[in-house]
């Protein structure tokens, strides 16, 4: 099956700083790359996604970049705020949906 | 549209018992996937159903099974429960993702505790 590696597993940043989470994958047939945010006690929710024919996508303070050649994609959060504190999962799909192991982000006020 | 619903929300069972969890997808969604979530293990894929057929299965023992009904509602069953089965079980529905990539909408989960 697909091997999705997500790093780092934990990340602490000061409020206002940027946070970057990276996922690498092995299946070149993967064509859809979403990022989910899961707040404590809540369900995962999609925050941004990108398809394989696009290299970058931005939505306000959140951006995702995709490097198909190197088989990795990253989530970038700028000007972090305390409410960004959560667990973030990368996902990808080809024949099956796979998730990374999650990154616990803590934004320190 | 109503979101994905799961019942029950909480469940306490004893080792050796069996349990059935239910998931109602968003109206119009035909794909339903099940995940097991435990601390430090992320989201482990159990299986996916589409139009009443299991399309994909993760690496879980045969004690874990599921089915989907004609109205797309899905159930998963765990037989002969073990302590290690204690987890949050999430289902997610989508229009379809195989090869096309659609957002998965998650339900609130069922918290299963095995004692």
DSSP assigned state of B86: -
Place of tokens 């990808």: A92
Q: Give the angle subtended at the CA of A19 by the CAs of A10 and A41, to the nearest 5°.
A: 50
Which pLDDT score, from 0 to 100, does residue A23 have?
Answer: 97
**Distance from C-alpha of A73 to C-alpha of A1, rounded to nearest angstrom:** 19
- A21, A32, A39, A44: which to substitute to probe chain B, counting the most B Cβ within 10 Å? A44
pLDDT of residue B103: 84
Taking an 8 Å cut-off on Cβ atoms, the answer to whether A99 and B103 are in contact is no
Does A34 sit within 8 Å of B90, measured CB to CB?
A: no
Q: What does the pLDDT average to over A32-39?
A: 95
What distance in Å separates residue A84's CA from the closest CA in chain B?
A: 19
Q: Does B56 sit within 8 Å of A96, measured CB to CB?
A: yes
Q: Per the structure block, which two tokens stand in for B37?
A: 């979530």
pLDDT in tens, B53-99: 998 898 899 999 999 999 999 999 999 999 999 999 999 998 875 65
Q: Torsion over CA of A106, B84, B13 and B49, rounded to 10 degrees?
A: 80
């Amino acid at each position: 099956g697909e091997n999705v590696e997500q790093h780092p597993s934990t990340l602490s940043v000061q409020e206002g700083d940027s946070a970057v989470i990276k996922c690498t994958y092995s299946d070149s047939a993967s064509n859809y790359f979403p990022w989910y945010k899961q707040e404590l006690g809540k369900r995962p929710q999609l925050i941004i996604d990108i398809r394989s024919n696009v290299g970058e996508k931005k939505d306000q303070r959140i951006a995702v970049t995709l490097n198909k050649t190197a088989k990795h994609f990253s989530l970038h959060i700028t000007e972090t705020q305390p409410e960004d504190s959560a667990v973030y999962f990368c996902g990808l799909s080809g024949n099956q949906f796979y998730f990374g192991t999650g990154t616990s982000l803590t934004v320190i006020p | 549209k109503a979101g994905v619903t799961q019942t029950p929300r909480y469940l306490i069972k004893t080792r050796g018992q069996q349990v059935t969890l239910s998931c109602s997808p968003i109206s119009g969604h035909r794909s339903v996937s099940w995940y097991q979530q435990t601390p430090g293990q992320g989201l482990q894929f159990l299986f996916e159903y589409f139009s009443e057929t299991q399309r994909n299965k993760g690496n879980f023992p045969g004690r874990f099974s599921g089915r989907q009904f004609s109205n797309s509602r899905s159930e998963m069953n765990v037989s002969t429960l073990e302590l290690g089965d204690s987890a949050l079980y999430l289902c997610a529905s989508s229009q379809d993702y195989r090869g096309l990539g659609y957002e998965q909408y998650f339900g609130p989960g069922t918290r299963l505790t095995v004692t």
